[in-house]
Chains A and B, each alone.
Chain A
Amino acid sequence: MSKATLGIAGVSLVSVLALGFTATADAQLLTHKDLSLAVATTIAQGAIDACKAQGYNVSAHVVGREGQVIVALRNESAGLATYENSMKKAYTARTLRMPSGQFANNVKGNPTAGQLYLTNITPAQGALPIMVGNDTVGAIGISGAPGGDKDEACAKAGIDKVAAQLK
């Protein structure tokens, strides 16, 4: 091979390596959207207000992408257990990426489902994942209304308040 050919081959190799460093693509940081405290607070309060308007006192938790608590609101007029329960429902909806009521349906009749033995997983309706498209960015959990379906309806009212911002 002539020097020129070697030179071209060398350049090609460099190009292949550079492309091989799709590493450039892999090395990029993840970009995602997360709930702000303001949005999370609007969701939680919107849900509590929606339940209150129907005569139900409820507690609420909004958790973020990692299941971390962003807002927790204890309603002293609601039952003592509602604070913990709203957190566990929210955590369940976040980590399983589905309404906690859907999870409850899924494990119905299967009390030894592995997930039931994880910390903070609860098979009870009343929490919804908070989505940006197909990405679960958090969840809201409600507890205190007479029935998980009513808790869930209030949770939905909270999310609906910020629907326009969830993009």
Chain B
Amino acid sequence: MSKRAYLIAGLSFATMVAGAFSVNAQLVARKDLSLSMATTIAQTAIQTCKSQGYNVSAHVLGRNGEVLVSMRGDETAPHTLENSFKKAYTSRAQRIPSGKFAENVKGNPNAGALHLTNMMPAQGALPIMIGEEVIGAIGVSGAPGGDKDEACAKTGIDKVAADLK
């Protein structure tokens, strides 16, 4: 190869490397729940259940399973706060409703996921999504039936649906 050919080859390689690096080196752009949005979700869920005569506690978690909002409902049983957290954590981690997870592991008590901390095979939590991306979850506990907890959780998310984009 001539010197010129080497130079061109070298430049091309440099460009490729630089190109690859500039893509890999970019920061990850993410949207996350704000405290006010998380509060709206939790309060709406609690109020919906209350209007149906059910006292519930609620947790809203963020992208990393961290607690954004924790609310102990009036007249709720002590375990509901913990339970709403675990359901929410399960929903966030598994990226599915905690009730779906419960179905998935039914008849399989040795499922590995059941042995992770804070995993709870119980209905009442939903992931909070932006499109296909899970950015958090809401968990509810206290209504007579996980289906009712989940319905209240859904009204919380529905309340901010327009902002989840």
- Which of B62, B74, B81 is within 8 Å of A76, CB to CB? B62
Q: Are B68 and A69 neighbours in the complex by a CB distance under 8 Å?
A: no
B73 CB to nearest A CB, Å = 6
Q: Are B71 and A70 neighbours in the complex by a CB distance under 8 Å?
A: yes
B35 CB to nearest A CB, Å = 5
Interface of A is mostly: mixed
1/0 per residue A40-66: CB within 8 Å of B?
A: 010001001000000000000000100
B70 CB to nearest A CB, Å = 4
- Decide yes or no: A73 and B35 within 8 Å by CB, A37-B46, A41-B43, A83-B67 being known contacts: yes
Task: Kindly list chain A residues whose C-beta atoms are within 8 Å of the C-beta of B33.
Answer: 76
Q: Are A71 and B35 neighbours in the complex by a CB distance under 8 Å?
A: no
Q: Are B39 and A69 neighbours in the complex by a CB distance under 8 Å?
A: no
Q: Are A37 and B73 neighbours in the complex by a CB distance under 8 Å?
A: yes
- Which of A38, A64, A68, A74 is within 8 Å of B69, CB to CB? A74
Task: Kindly list chain A residues whose C-beta atoms are within 8 Å of the C-beta of B73.
Answer: 37
Q: Are A73 and B39 neighbours in the complex by a CB distance under 8 Å?
A: yes
Alpha-carbon distance A95/B64, docked complex (angstroms): 31
1/0 per residue B35-78: CB within 8 Å of A?
A: 10001000100100000000000000010001111111110001
Look across to chain A and name the residue whose beta carbon is closest to the beta carbon of B58.
Answer: A37
Interface assignment of A72: CB less than 8 Å from any CB of chain B: yes
Interface assignment of A119: CB less than 8 Å from any CB of chain B: no
Interface assignment of B34: CB less than 8 Å from any CB of chain A: yes
Q: How many B residues face the partner with a CB closer than 8 A? A: 19
- Decide yes or no: A75 and B69 within 8 Å by CB, A37-B46, A37-B74, A41-B43 being known contacts: no
Task: Kindly list chain A residues whose C-beta atoms are within 8 Å of the C-beta of B66.
Answer: 74, 83
Task: Kindly list chain A residues whose C-beta atoms are within 8 Å of the C-beta of B71.
Answer: 37, 41, 70-72
Q: Are A70 and B72 neighbours in the complex by a CB distance under 8 Å?
A: yes
A105 CB to nearest B CB, Å = 30
B31 CB to nearest A CB, Å = 12
Look across to chain B and name the residue whose beta carbon is closest to the beta carbon of A74.
Answer: B68
Enumerate chain A interface residues (CB-CB to B < 8 A). Answer: 36-38, 41, 45, 48, 64, 68-76, 83
Other 15 A-B pairs with CB < 8 A, given A37-B71, A71-B70: A37-B72, A37-B74, A48-B35, A64-B72, A68-B72, A68-B81, A69-B81, A70-B71, A73-B35, A74-B66, A74-B67, A74-B68, A74-B69, A76-B34, A83-B67
24 examples of A-B residue contacts, CB within 8 angstroms = A36-B74, A37-B71, A37-B72, A41-B43, A41-B71, A48-B35, A64-B72, A68-B72, A68-B81, A69-B81, A70-B72, A71-B69, A71-B71, A71-B72, A72-B69, A73-B69, A74-B67, A74-B68, A74-B69, A76-B32, A76-B33, A76-B62, A76-B68, A83-B67
